[in-house]
Chains A and B, each alone.
Chain A
Amino acid sequence: MSRVVLWLTLLFWVAPVCAVHAASESAVCFKCHKKADFSAKIVHRPVAQGKCESCHNPHVARYKGLLQKPDGQLCESCHKKREWLGNGAGGRVIHEPVRQGQCLKCHDPHKSEVKGLVHGKLADRCFACHKDLPKKFEGSTHSPYAKGRCIVCHLPHVADNYQMLRTSPDKLCLKCHQRKALNKAHKGYPVEIKDCLSCHNPHGSKRKYLIRNFLHEPFKKNNCKVCHSGGQPGTEVCLKCHKDISKKVLTLHNHFTSSTGNSCIICHSPHAGDTSGLLKGRQAQICRSCHEDTFKRDQDKIYRHPKVSHCGECHNVHGSNRLAMFRSEGSAVCERCHETQGKFTHPLGDKVRDPRTGQKMTCISCHKPMGTDYKYELLLSGEKDLCIQCHRNY
């Protein structure tokens, strides 16, 4: 009993002291920083409590804004990663700013008029990075998209689904679009209505009903039998018309593999697409859906190849007789951009052999273009370590 009394007494004296300290702390800050700039409908709890020092150092700091830690780490000190990232991020899709700890790309750390301390309107935050997306489409725009309610379909931090969708695409569509209405709209469709994104762009399109801009020729002509002449169409059905691609089946490394027997539809939509190639999304997104390891392995390297527009710039995405499905032989793939190095560089080619392996020297004997921790994407330090691998006498 006496112990309880002792604690209560202590609390009685200490609590006001703490409150006074916090208030005095913020009072000092607000001598220069306008208090009005920190007031809104939603105020970050440390700000409301006047605990500026929980994030900022009033005298000196390594980080911009006199922050105690880099912004991501600072947020994480209260908002524990495991609480919103789940138990381990293995196999989950993490939004790039979240992965890089750039919380302030979307959130205002002090105050906001929007729940979740979102910096301005949520859609504005999304469009700030996703610049290739138009705010409105010429033909039809999906209602939630038009209203800037990206969050209806997408999760902002981490998701278990491709493109950070809340659930699988079909499930998501059916949350708003009733099955009966869908059946009515697709009257005469010979099979069960599914895989909505195969024909519809969930954001918008030049066409009515969000149908993607480019149509597969037989689909456009309503000539379903060209492909659907019995059973599930296999890869061969596609290759009957796309003869230039059929040669790629006969290469050492190719992408002609799928348990469904049609590898084409892993990347291409058989009906409609946003590009003439009827790809199911941006090429890098499609590649990543299978080659997540490649993207993850290289994304945090210190030196990375400057961003290329798509994987197909260096790799032949259908098939190739070269290592890693490169588009062309040896260094030729690099020389298309790095012209000078193609003419004047360390000797390369058939006559110069790597003493370690007997393989001909190419750019990738020394560089790993996807990224390394050494300057110029070298495999080892270019100061010495890399050279003495072969030039031992030096």
Chain B
Amino acid sequence: MYPMPSQLLIIKQGAREVIRPVVSTRVFLGALLAIFFMAVPVWAVPWHHVLTLRGEPSGLAMNMPTALFVDKERSRYYVVDAANNRLLSFDRDGKFLSSFNAMGRLSIPFDMVREKGGIIWLVEKGKNSLTRIDLKARKVVPNILSFNGRTVYPDRLKMHGGVFYILNKANGDILCLDADLKVKRVFSCNGCRLGFVDFKIVGNDLFALAQAEQSVYRFSLGDDSPAKVIHLQKKMEFPCSLAVDSLGNFFILDRHADHVVVFDPVGRFKYSFLQPGEAQGRLHFPWEISFDPWGRLCIVEEGNGRVEIFNR
């Protein structure tokens, strides 16, 4: 327990003879402030805007960006600039590095991952493919996936432990694919109306968001045990994406309300933040939320054509 300011004052008054010549008022107020911030736990500090990833430094503003991929080892952000059919890279400080469009061969890219060897896997909505891009060999190979005799419509994409996790938009299932793009496991939202709309992998768990049911399904990647369903206890307008912090709290992006709603690990509402608008730190048709490896909260905004990054 830290002493309250009034208690400090009494302590100081009690020790007036000793302290007064040593501690000035400014130092004392500074110490008070420092104690205040030390006393407030990290989760209680408000989020503030730290940087924006914009397309203008490339000569062209982003047009409907849809996804962000972060390469921790290279300390790079990759933004999928869907309507401009290109990928943009930025360093950790938000400095624009390069733009890549595979010589004009991309068709409505939607989500991506980058392998250690420099291979990019890209969901292309325009081709309905999971496209493999070998940067060194300058090869672009589209793959149309199918499962149980039906075409897969790839949506969100993640890579974890050398296997792919793909959201199949056709039925809202999440498919786990091996390196040969063969389906190994299916994560279904049983009884859901529209299936899942987004998912994240944290540790050995896969968290998936069921939009219509406003619930998070928690699957264990280690075994085939049934999912644990967490009902989010606050009605949202149009939840479209989720992020999970190190404490297990859920950060749900509400696309139509243009804000983020935070729930504790059992689904109890904690708080919401951010507002609609075009100014810095405001949201317009946000599409994806994620934590980067440095604990910063990143929001891809389709409407404002940028990625906003927040910290606390």
Shortest distance between the CB of B234 and any CB in chain A (Å): 11
Once A249-B153, A259-B172 are accepted as A-B contacts, the answer to whether A358 and B278 lie under 8 Å apart by CB is no
Known: A234-B170, A261-B150, A359-B61. 4 other contacts (CB 8 A): A249-B153, A252-B83, A357-B61, A389-B279
Check: B192 CB closer than 8 A to any chain A CB: yes
Residues of A within 8 A of B189 (CB): 259
Contact residues of A between 334 and 389, Cβ < 8 Å to B = 353-354, 356-360, 365, 389
Shortest distance between the CB of B197 and any CB in chain A (Å): 8
- Could you tell me the distance between the alpha carbons of A131 and B280 in the complex, rounded to whole angstroms? 48
The stretch from B24-32, B130-138, B219-227, B303-311 touching chain A is B303-311
Chain B residue at minimum C-beta to C-beta distance from A260: B171
Check: B115 CB closer than 8 A to any chain A CB: no
Check: B259 CB closer than 8 A to any chain A CB: no
**In the complex the two chains form, is A354's CB within 8 Å of B278's CB?**
yes
**In the complex the two chains form, is B285's CB within 8 Å of A256's CB?**
no
Shortest distance between the CB of B53 and any CB in chain A (Å): 12
Once A249-B128, A293-B256, A389-B279 are accepted as A-B contacts, the answer to whether A261 and B82 lie under 8 Å apart by CB is no
List the interface of chain A (C-beta within 8 A of B). Answer: 90-91, 234-236, 249-252, 256-261, 263, 290-291, 293-294, 297, 321, 323-324, 353-354, 356-360, 365, 389
Residues of A within 8 A of B170 (CB): 234-235, 256-258, 261, 263
Chain A residue at minimum C-beta to C-beta distance from B155: A257
**In the complex the two chains form, is B66's CB within 8 Å of A357's CB?**
no
Check: B235 CB closer than 8 A to any chain A CB: yes
Contact residue among B66, B108, B212, B305 (Cβ-Cβ distance under 8 Å from A358) = B305
List the interface of chain B (C-beta within 8 A of A). Answer: 54-56, 61-64, 66, 82-83, 108, 110, 125-128, 150-151, 153, 169-172, 188-189, 192-195, 212, 235, 237-238, 256-257, 278-280, 284-285, 302-306
Shortest distance between the CB of A252 and any CB in chain B (Å): 5
Q: For A90, A91, A259, which residue has the most chain B Cβ atoms within 10 angstroms?
A: A259
**In the complex the two chains form, is A359's CB within 8 Å of B125's CB?**
no
Chain A residue at minimum C-beta to C-beta distance from B82: A252
Once A252-B83, A259-B194 are accepted as A-B contacts, the answer to whether A356 and B278 lie under 8 Å apart by CB is yes
Once A261-B150, A321-B83, A359-B305 are accepted as A-B contacts, the answer to whether A293 and B126 lie under 8 Å apart by CB is no
Shortest distance between the CB of A261 and any CB in chain B (Å): 4
Residues of B within 8 A of A256 (CB): 153, 169-170
Shortest distance between the CB of A227 and any CB in chain B (Å): 15
Residues of A within 8 A of B256 (CB): 293-294, 297
- Could you tell me the distance between the alpha carbons of A293 and B279 in the complex, rounded to whole angstroms? 24
**In the complex the two chains form, is B237's CB within 8 Å of A297's CB?**
yes
Residues of A within 8 A of B304 (CB): 356-357, 359
A-B contact pairs, 10 of them (CB 8 A): A250-B126, A258-B170, A259-B189, A294-B256, A321-B83, A357-B61, A358-B306, A359-B63, A389-B278, A389-B279
Residues of A within 8 A of B303 (CB): 323, 359
**In the complex the two chains form, is B56's CB within 8 Å of A261's CB?**
no
- Could you tell me the distance between the alpha carbons of A357 and B276 in the complex, rounded to whole angstroms? 13
- Could you tell me the distance between the alpha carbons of A354 and B305 in the complex, rounded to whole angstroms? 11
Once A252-B66, A259-B171, A259-B172 are accepted as A-B contacts, the answer to whether A324 and B285 lie under 8 Å apart by CB is yes
Residues of A within 8 A of B188 (CB): 259
Once A236-B151, A252-B108, A324-B285 are accepted as A-B contacts, the answer to whether A258 and B194 lie under 8 Å apart by CB is yes
